[in-house]
Structure 1
Amino acid sequence: MGSVTFGQVFALARMAATRHPEGERDGIMAVIRALFALPFVVVLPLWALIFAQGAAVTAVFPVGLLMSGGMLLVVLRRWPQDGSTAWEDRPSGLSFRAALAEMGQPRLAARVLALGAVNAAATIYIAIVSLVMVADVGRSVADVALYVGLVAGLEVPFMLALPRLTRGMDRTLLILTGAALYAVHVALLPSLAGSALVWLLVLPAAVGGAITLTVPIAYLQDLLADRPGAGASLMALQRLAGDVVAALCFALGTLLAGYGLVAMLGVVVSITGAGLLWWADRRR
């Protein structure tokens, strides 16, 4: 449900952005994506302080339940009703089967899978960060929360600056660059977890994450530019593909070696996906 709702928020934003010049639309998407990262700046450092005081990790679950209930109330009261918006929302006229067949076209499916592979590195990072920053290397749950909070917090200004700094640049080349930067962070995290140098990794993580989390949104929506809702559905498929790829990397890596191999497999898959995407679109 979270993935579906996440995509539909950007579908609504895409339709609302049609009232603005085309050159500004990527910037609008980047600002909205940055707003999703902003709570990490506040929430995770707060949890770091709470855990440092001895609170149980499971305390996040009842708090999360209360916050989710509040979000549900906001959605029920404020979600735009059909026909009440200031932009045009034309139905596709396709049946459910036809819509699925459209998304299964090789042109779309291959690109969604490639972007899913890119996204797998971020999924692996979230999976292993609490497994490598452990007491055996002098780390604690508070360090994990602080690290993740710093990465997400630094992503926000980079996300906001990205549209202006990269205007006119090829999106697939940007994604490849972002994947390479993020790979530095993921590949070195297991080996540097117990070192003070680990805190330097937040910079390539933030820059690479800002690119790989924002640029694919506009890229996917442009694959079905005349249908924002369907374009947003591709985002959910991308996340699903990324989760599946990350799970396979995790299973294989832990079976053969450990979390270091998991990270390296994620890095290889991510850069390969970004490279294939750039190669596929090199003449577009």
Structure 2
Amino acid sequence: MSSAPRPRMPVTALLGANMFFSGVTFASTAPYASIVGVETLGLSTAAFATLLSVSSIVGAFLSLGLGYLSDRLPDRRILVLAAALAGMIGHGLIYLFPSQSVFLLAMGVVMPLGLSMFSQSFAYTRVFYNRHNPARADFMVSALRTVFTVAWTVVPPLAGYVAARYSVFNVYLISALSYGLCGTIFIVMMTDRATLVPNAPPASVAPAPSGAAVRRRLPFPILSGVVGLTVIATAMRLAGVGMPLLIVTDLGGSLTDVGLYAGIAAGLELPFMLGWGYLLARLSKESILIFNGLLFALYLLLATGVRSVGDILWLQGINGIATAALMSVNISYLQDAIKGRVGLSTSLMDVVSISATLLGAAAFGLLGAGGDYRLVIAGAAAIAGLGALVMLAGNLNRLRGPRPSRPA
């Protein structure tokens, strides 16, 4: 039983609300970013891909800086507040001043910090429960990730209706307000000193590992898994940009259809996340991730032959099964990659995400230059299959059952 003072406020409920509104910031804008940039503001596919690349590069350096600060600041909640403020400003600017220049400035410079609120919130959640209820820390992280997915279930159809009925830029107002609510939640928590999780003094921080130590911590099977997950995540980013454009341009769908597509996919993920979590006791993480990487590739391959929005919606059954595993099991897999190092594991999640965004942007710039979004989806299918095969190549002997936890 932890000897840490008990918070006087319902921290779990507040963290759940924070994770829900964090989900709203993504769910209200991500399905429409390419539509706003390319179709509404008139950016070329090359310019939009360059914007995503710049944002990813800025995010990569920022992630390293935040990782450095997180072990030295007296209160890591400051980073969550900074990210919430940046997100509110960035998306607020797009809503108030809808133009190419403001969109480029907000997405390329301001939003890389805003987008880090997701990982910083999870980092605080992990260390909070490690201190107050370590036996339930893993469960609480998983449960809060599910709350994040709930936002993806209910928000995209609503955001699609608002975008179609009023203006597509209103989705950025929804996001800006949600960032503000997330920041307010953490300000409220900061009034209770028991919610503070102090960092260890700098003198106790372990020295940076040598190259040999890194290789011991990331042996070839784990390294191939991380690379494979990065490639699969690249396919997911590419599909996330290309599918809304396919719906609107090739299939003649509306913004409401885009929201419906995103909402159905997220809704199906919820039960399958629980199902994959149950199967983790019987199957290895590697086998689950490899299978669903191949299943996601099959979904995208089938999507290249659709003839209507309805066809896309029917395919979300396959998408929901695959994405549920690729968005939940991947977290526990990466957190186990560097056992016992919460900060490094969080950074590894950011590295995979940022690398996938950068590679996805480059792929979109190449495949989408001619406006053929079926080619974009076909390319995403090939990339997803490649990622699964990379992971398979290094883990052939780990597919029979759950892998024992590695020592810290």
TM-score tier by shorter-chain length is 0.7 to 0.9
Percent of aligned pairs with the same amino acid: 24
1:114 aligns with one of 216, 228, 245 = 228
1:57 corresponds to: 168
- CA shift, 1:14, in A, is 4.2
- CA shift, 1:147, in A, is 0.5
CA contact (8 A) 1:120 1:246 kept: yes
1:46 aligns with 2:161: no
> Which has more radius of gyration?
2
1:160 aligns with 2:274: yes
Point out the more displaced range, 35-44 or 145-154: 35-44
CA contact (8 A) 1:35 1:156 kept: no
CA contact (8 A) 1:116 1:238 kept: yes
1:279 aligns with one of 393, 396, 400 = 393
1:226 aligns with 2:340: yes
1:70 corresponds to: 181
- CA shift, 1:75, in A, is 2.4
Q: Deviations over 1:228-279 (max 9, x none)?
A: 1211111000101111221222122124782222222222222222222232
- CA shift, 1:4, in A, is 3.4
Hey, what's the Cα distance between the residues in 2 that align with 1:213 and 1:276? Answer: 18
Q: Deviations over 1:196-216 (max 9, x none)?
A: 322211111111000001111
The residue identity in structure 2 corresponding to 1:50 is V
Q: Deviations over 1:49-82 (max 9, x none)?
A: 3344x31101112222122111112123326423
2:381 corresponds to: 267
Equivalent residue runs for 1:197-216 within 5 Å: 197-216=311-330
Equivalent residue runs for 1:1-284 within 5 Å: 1-15=113-127, 16=129, 19-20=134-135, 25=138, 28-52=140-164, 54-78=165-189, 80-83=195-198, 93-95=205-207, 98=208, 105=215, 107=219, 110-134=224-248, 137-192=251-306, 194-255=308-369, 258-283=372-397
The residue identity in structure 1 corresponding to 2:152 is F
Hey, what's the Cα distance between the residues in 2 that align with 1:244 and 1:272? Answer: 17
Helix, strand or coil at the partner of 1:138: coil
- CA shift, 1:180, in A, is 1.6
Hey, what's the Cα distance between the residues in 2 that align with 1:143 and 1:32? Answer: 28
Hey, what's the Cα distance between the residues in 1 that align with 2:230 and 2:397? Answer: 22
Helix, strand or coil at the partner of 1:179: helix
Q: Deviations over 1:129-170 (max 9, x none)?
A: 221112553311110111111101111121122211342311
Distance 1:46 1:227, change over 3 A: same
- CA shift, 1:5, in A, is 3.1
Distance 1:280 1:172, change over 3 A: same
Hey, what's the Cα distance between the residues in 1 that align with 2:396 and 2:387? Answer: 14
Hey, what's the Cα distance between the residues in 1 that align with 2:306 and 2:240? Answer: 16
2:109 corresponds to: none
Hey, what's the Cα distance between the residues in 1 that align with 2:277 and 2:373? Answer: 35
CA contact (8 A) 2:162 2:171 kept: no
Helix, strand or coil at the partner of 1:283: helix
Point out the more displaced range, 260-269 or 234-243: 260-269
The residue identity in structure 2 corresponding to 1:268 is A
Helix, strand or coil at the partner of 1:57: coil
Hey, what's the Cα distance between the residues in 2 that align with 1:73 and 1:146? Answer: 30
Distance 1:197 1:83, change over 3 A: same
Q: Which structure has the higher relative contact order (CA within 8 Å, separation 6+)?
A: 1
Hey, what's the Cα distance between the residues in 2 that align with 1:83 and 1:19? Answer: 16
2:96 corresponds to: none
* RMSD, aligned α-carbons: 3.1
Point out the more displaced range, 121-130 or 109-118: 109-118
CA contact (8 A) 1:121 1:186 kept: no
Q: Could you state the TM-score of these two structures normalised by the residue count of structure 2?
A: 0.60
Hey, what's the Cα distance between the residues in 2 that align with 1:199 and 1:42? Answer: 16
The residue identity in structure 2 corresponding to 1:82 is V
Q: Deviations over 1:104-134 (max 9, x none)?
A: 7574665433211111122112201221112
CA contact (8 A) 1:183 1:267 kept: yes
Hey, what's the Cα distance between the residues in 2 that align with 1:252 and 1:118? Answer: 18
- In structure 1, runs of 5+ residues without a counterpart are none
Between Structure 1 and Structure 2, how many residues are aligned? 275
Point out the more displaced range, 257-266 or 138-147: 257-266
- CA shift, 1:37, in A, is 1.0
Hey, what's the Cα distance between the residues in 2 that align with 1:277 and 1:146? Answer: 32
